[in-house]
Structure 1
């Protein structure tokens, strides 16, 4: 199912403008349970991980195997190397990748059952959503996308809600890998990417800087580089050129994330969106996503499939 070509292939449908972003708005909150649900921290602590960040990096990086900090720093893109090096490779001395994968599946099983209810996670609609998402994830183009490829290669899990979470995680990492490639192509480094996100009000400046562990001097240097580029004003806000540049980055990110949805087709993509929307809203309404979360995801808007 894998391919090196971006966009729709022969026989696949081109999606309406905004479809890949609309799908991201629906699957990202469900995926994010692995970061913010208390069960995820419980699972990491149960493995012997020391603190939130060791658990975060171990659970997210587990599909890659027992990789060193340098690989995770490169593939996660926006974290200071010291943030990663404080967690890896030490985490693998407490639990190997296979144990971390099992722990995160357990955490998502328990968290999703608690949040959505046993009736929902055991429903035919959940099974339908899981199968649609799994098909989309299997069709994702993973050439050059390390995190997506590693997640796509994992075995198909049971029960259906855990399968749904894993499929959404593959799709999420597929989009993220593409986004990082676009940033590299635009000459935007990790700190500049965070400064742009904050300037666009898609994340709190201090939360982004602190959680990614960038020093004030690195942040200021990135701001200076963006001012020299004409993208950032002296007041820290995006200039018209900066707003246009960032919009272009986001549009290209959407474009290179389209393949799974083109393969699934507009009608079934719209069906999956309808099945995911109440799950996303439940996550939002639960308060589990922190205010000013560094992911930058917002409540989903209506899907437009371009006439379907």
Structure 2
């Protein structure tokens, strides 16, 4: 099923990401998550992050996590994994992550919890995921294999997780197709003003020397000028990567159709705004997420 025109579809896919992302991404900032991972035996924030996000993969070699996470420096992942699995298990971490999401959503959504709007949004978001194929989407596939929660707010959170990992796998494919590595992807985002270097460096594990090497590589490609500012070619490349990412993220929205897709965003937008306004996600943030 197709809706709108081609450009409108791409624009909608991007709007859908920025609208739904807060419903998922709160798990990376919620104190409930940090406490849950500590209680599960994990040591420190980043061990909790890498173990919890990769737990559906199982206790796989660190190289597999590096491949699917893409824009984190491999050594940053290697400091957390596989050591995390000597303190806890993937099954336990999956369980406590869901419990943490439950607690955080109850705190951040307050009176909205249990509303008809949340229930309707949850069912629409779940239906959207039925339009997603696992083929070529390794991280999405492993989340798609998890059982669905029962309560509506957790169904919405899980669906938002599936949709963002589906999009994320497509974004990795778009970057690979343009020959842009993990660090260069961040330099490109900083050049476009979507996030600052000060926010991205400590949260993705690249050091100053590696950052400068990425700048030099992009200067040789004509993507940055001699002053390190993004060029017209750089802006064009960024636009093409974003368009390709949006295109690869279209299947769930084409499956849901125009009317139900717009209804889902209409329902989710006030939830996401509430999450952000109550500090559930910092602004600015490492994802480059704007306000919905």
Q: Aligning the two structures, in what range does the TM-score lie when normalised by the shorter sequence?
A: over 0.9
Deviation per residue, 1:229-275 (Å, 9 max, x gap): 11112332211111111011001100110000000111000010001
* TM-score of the aligned structures, taking structure 2 as reference length: 0.96
Which of 66, 72, 86 does residue 93 from structure 1 map onto? 86
Q: Does 1:260 align with 2:249?
A: no
- Cα separation, 2, equivalents of 1:234 and 1:27: 38
Structure 1 residue 113 displacement after superposition: 0.6
Deviating 4+ runs (over 4 angstroms): none
Whether the aligned pair in 1 keeps the contact of 2:187 and 2:214 (CA below 8 Å) is: yes
- Residues 150-189 of structure 1: CA distance to partner in whole angstroms, max 9, x if unpaired? 1111111121101110110000000010000000000001
In the other structure, the counterpart of 1:58 is 51
8 Å contact kept, 2:40–2:93: yes
Aligned to 2:105: 112
Unaligned runs of 5+ in 2: none
Equivalent residue number for residue 70 of structure 2: 77
Maintained 8 Å contact 2:23/2:271:
yes
Contact 2:195 2:286 in 1 (8 A): yes
Equivalent-residue separation in structure 2 for 1:103 and 1:202 (angstroms): 32
2:261 maps to which of 269, 289, 308: 269
> 1:45 aligned to 2:34?
no
Once residues 292 and 280 of structure 1 are traced to their aligned partners in structure 2, the CA distance between those partners, rounded to angstroms, is: 15
**Shift in Å at residue 202 of structure 1?**
1.2
Equivalent residue, structure 1, for 2:3? 14
Give, in whole Å, the separation in 2 of the partners of 1:151 and 1:121.
24
Offset at 1:107?
0.6
Residues 1:237 and 2:226 aligned together? no
Q: What residue number does 2:141 align with?
A: 149
Q: CA deviation at 1:73?
A: 0.8
Alpha-carbon offset, residue 145 of structure 1: 0.8
TM-score scaled to structure 1, two decimals?
Answer: 0.91
Q: Distance in 1 between matches of 2:263 and 2:165?
A: 22
Map of 2:17 onto structure 1:
24
Other structure's SS at 1:32 match: helix
Q: Secondary structure at the match of 2:76?
A: helix
Corresponding residue number in structure 2 for 1:36: 29
Equivalent position SS for 1:254: helix
Using the alignment, how far apart are the partners of 1:223 and 1:61 within structure 2?
30
> For this pair of structures, how many residues does the alignment match?
288
Task: State how far apart, in whole Å, the 2-side matches of 1:292 and 1:124 are.
Answer: 31
